[in-house]
Structure 1
Amino acid sequence: MPDVNPDILVWARETAGLAPEEAVKKLGINTTKNMSGAEKLSAYEKGVLSPSRPLLLKMSQQYRRPLVAFYMKSRPADGTRSEDFRNIPDRDPASDILISVLVRNVRARQSAIREILVDDESPALSFVASKSVKDGPAAVLENIVSVTGIKREEFRSKASPELAFAYLRAKIEAVGVFVLLIGNLGSHHTAIDAEAFRGFALADKIAPFVVVNDQDARTAWSFTLLHELAHIWLGASGISGKVSDAETERFCNTVANQFFLSDAELNSLKISKSSSVQEVIAEIADFAKARHISGSMAAYGLLRKGAITVETWRAITRFFSAQWRKSRDAQKDREQDSSGPNYYVVRRHRLGRALMQTVSRALSEGALTPTRASQILGVKPRSVSPLLSEPLGGRAA
């Protein structure tokens, strides 16, 4: 197993906002006859002593870093902080902390995967940061479609929103983007509501990552995936929410919306600015369902076309959001009365084929230990083998 990088120990403590004296207390490093607690921490951070596994677990908790972060070869480069594109009037500090930890966790996984791909001499991905807002949404979408091969008709031909999302995900992962479904820090107690964040993108020329909040409605997953993919094309790492006034967010929303809905379809709807909220909802409900999209997404298309007002769009979004929450709560009640899906099936679905394939290959080649593989996959070491036991094959097309 690779050694812990002592410089990363310093970086993790400092970015957690802890002075050495504070860290000693929080980590419970006791003074002994020959060495004080502060001296011990200094020895760990200079590489003179190696921290034990229990101490690393404490550091992971107190520094709010995943274990895999302590094995990175170097500190993350300056400028890796994601921009926050969300516009949330009444922010929940607790959710913001969870999101910050989640982003750091995924960045650590990304760093580990990047090292594997660099060692494999994987080529840089030319599409990352290849476009700008000045190119216009249509040009960006055209290039995304050309590179990934995604097709609107094929997306709609799937039997359910989940299968439609799986189709998009497979196509996007096949070109080198890692797509994860994550909405908590490993337990339902740390679930992050979709109102707090819908997804985020971590642009990188070797290992770009997209995270979709699986706490959101499943009809919204595909839109979030395309939205975050547009971020990758712009090279704009960031966290996205349901509402934002940022130019980049509006741009990426338009890119995604234009893929799922053509202007001709929107024009066929009998809706105008004089239409009531109830009339618009009645008109777009079945329209959206037939296309595996949310009613809110259809309403955004109408807003983009100038067919409805901002006030009408917001009212419609609130209606469909409330409707989804009611359906979600009913689903949770049903799940409590059943045994639920298999743990490994759920975990594979969240991690995605691309990430599991990369870890599986690195394990078989001896480039990863089971312990480090468990850190990247977010499972216990004993769970790595059964998680990867299902044949993964080549990249999904």
Structure 2
Amino acid sequence: MAVKPVPITGSVLAWTRAEAGMSPATLAEAVGASAEEVIAWESDRLQPTTGQFRALAKKLGRPESFFFLARPPQVSNLTVAFRTTAEKLGSPASAIEVGKELRLAQRTQRVAAWLQERLASSSPEIPEGDLRAPAARVAAKLQDWLHWNLDIQLKNTDAQVTKTLRRHLEEHGIIVMHVPIDTDTGVRGFSLPHDEAPLMVINTKERYGARTFSYIHELAHLALDDGSLCLVKNDEGVERWCNEVAACFLMPEHDVREFVRYKFGTVKISSLEQVSPLRSRYRVSTQAAALRLHKLGLSEPGFYPSVHWAIEKRKGGGSSVDSSQTRDVVRLQTYGRGYINLLIEAKETRKIPETQVLELLKMSRSEFSRLEFLARSSGEG
């Protein structure tokens, strides 16, 4: 009986192999073929057998349907702007530590963009940012876009505010991933702009308040369509502007001034104890609250710089992925509802088979069934 060839797209195979850093010979050895055969597949002169095709999809870590794309994905070369503390500036350990998270985020974004195209989903329309525009004006535009108001922060706990903000971002088409990154690196998050699948990654080893601030900081980066920076200080250039947008979004000037006047009169803030009520009110980190007071001229001259390092050295405290949790809970926490529901929709509309969804998430069918229930429930991941 003749072996039926699999009609893959050669250029997609060539792109995937190159991205995986494999030579034709390396891939050939893994799938039981010769280097010449792999080259022939990539030039569409030959096609692999079913067995060879399944082996190469597994080796390259892609769903089988990926190789039937009409052309390779268009991916821009991004050097990510990792949010770091100043004392970790330029640390090689930072880039090494987040390397696997960056690769995971890029793979997730490529899959999401591909699925968005298949499902003919509408693209998120993030309000455009402009470094020349006042941060407060951009923050107001982002608030309106997300349907966010200060009452959400005032009436909920730190954890509830963080989870609600993540949900708002996901409902507006942004993929929000959570990964634990060693706090010694100082990395708090990063973002990957994309027309169809904008994505941000947040460090879950940070406290909830710091996480909330990072959401808006990264949203500001996405509004700028900015993915071309490297490790930089938080108080310089684009990073400073994104910090100011986040501060204006979460701590509106008029409310901060009224609250400080109510609590302390005309006295300038001069201690961390005085910062605590603001941190609690706006559900942000102590550092963010102290910086906002400094920027608005409501603290003593030199106050923020004098306490900056003490604040920086405080470790996280928010929850991260717990190794004792079941895989369905971990996947929902890591990828978020936006991405998981995209996979569920693609499976239900038969854009991709369930087996490939399971392969992407590295889950069993029973685990995925529980994940579907969690993703559609009102509980938070």
Question: TM-score by structure 1 length?
Answer: 0.75
The corresponding residue for 2:162 is: 165
Q: 1:264 to 1:98 in 2, by over 3 A?
A: same
Q: Deviations over 1:337-380 (max 9, x none)?
A: xx94444233323322222222111111111222332355x332
Gaps of 5+ in 1: 61-65, 184-190
The corresponding residue for 1:63 is: none
Contact 1:68 1:109 in 2 (8 A): no
Q: 1:287 to 1:125 in 2, by over 3 A?
A: closer
Q: 1:6 to 1:246 in 2, by over 3 A?
A: farther
Contact 2:332 2:375 in 1 (8 A): no
The corresponding residue for 1:322 is: 313
1:208 to 2:198 alignment = yes
Structure 1 residue 246, shift from structure 2 partner: 4.3
Q: 1:31 to 1:290 in 2, by over 3 A?
A: closer
Q: 1:212 to 1:240 in 2, by over 3 A?
A: farther
- Aligned to 1:385, what secondary structure does the other structure show? helix
The corresponding residue for 1:125 is: 124
Structure 1 residue 89, shift from structure 2 partner: 3.2
Q: How does 1:1-397 map to 2 (within 5 A)?
A: 5-15=9-19, 20=23, 24=25, 29=29, 37-43=34-40, 45-46=42-43, 48-49=47-48, 51=52, 53=54, 55-60=56-61, 71=67, 73=69, 74-77=71-74, 79-84=76-81, 86=83, 88-93=88-93, 95-127=94-126, 130-158=128-156, 160-183=157-180, 191-193=181-183, 195-237=185-227, 243-264=233-254, 266-267=256-257, 268=260, 279-307=270-298, 312-313=303-304, 316-325=307-316, 340-376=324-360, 378-382=361-365, 383-390=367-374, 392=376
Q: 2 CA distance for matches of 1:68 and 1:226?
A: 36
The corresponding residue for 2:3 is: none
Q: 2 CA distance for matches of 1:104 and 1:316?
A: 36
Q: 1 CA distance for matches of 2:266 and 2:306?
A: 15
Q: 2 CA distance for matches of 1:90 and 1:271?
A: 41
Contact 2:119 2:351 in 1 (8 A): no
Structure 1 residue 151, shift from structure 2 partner: 0.8
Structure 1 residue 222, shift from structure 2 partner: 0.9
Contact 1:202 1:232 in 2 (8 A): yes
- Aligned to 1:135, what secondary structure does the other structure show? coil
Q: Deviations over 1:85-110 (max 9, x none)?
A: 556435134x4245344333323322
Q: 2 CA distance for matches of 1:171 and 1:31?
A: 44
Q: 1:56 to 1:285 in 2, by over 3 A?
A: same
Structure 1 residue 385, shift from structure 2 partner: 2.6
- Aligned to 2:190, what secondary structure does the other structure show? strand
Matched residues, number: 361
The corresponding residue for 1:186 is: none
Contact 1:177 1:209 in 2 (8 A): yes
Structure 1 residue 288, shift from structure 2 partner: 0.7
Structure 1 residue 192, shift from structure 2 partner: 4.3
Question: TM-score by structure 2 length?
Answer: 0.78
Which residue identity is paired with 1:353? R
Structure 1 residue 161, shift from structure 2 partner: 1.4
Which residue identity is paired with 1:157? K
Q: 2 CA distance for matches of 1:115 and 1:296?
A: 39
- Aligned to 1:389, what secondary structure does the other structure show? helix
Return 316-325 or 105-114, whichever deviates more. Answer: 316-325
Q: 1 CA distance for matches of 2:12 and 2:300?
A: 51
Q: Deviations over 1:8-62 (max 9, x none)?
A: 44334434555x3xx645x681798xx6x533543454463264555544444xx
Q: 2 CA distance for matches of 1:168 and 1:71?
A: 36
Contact 2:124 2:173 in 1 (8 A): yes
Structure 1 residue 315, shift from structure 2 partner: 5.1
Structure 1 residue 78, shift from structure 2 partner: 5.4
* Paired-residue identity, %: 19
Q: Deviations over 1:214-253 (max 9, x none)?
A: 1222221111111111122222236787943542211111
Structure 1 residue 117, shift from structure 2 partner: 2.4
Gaps of 5+ in 2: 1-5
Structure 1 residue 321, shift from structure 2 partner: 4.0
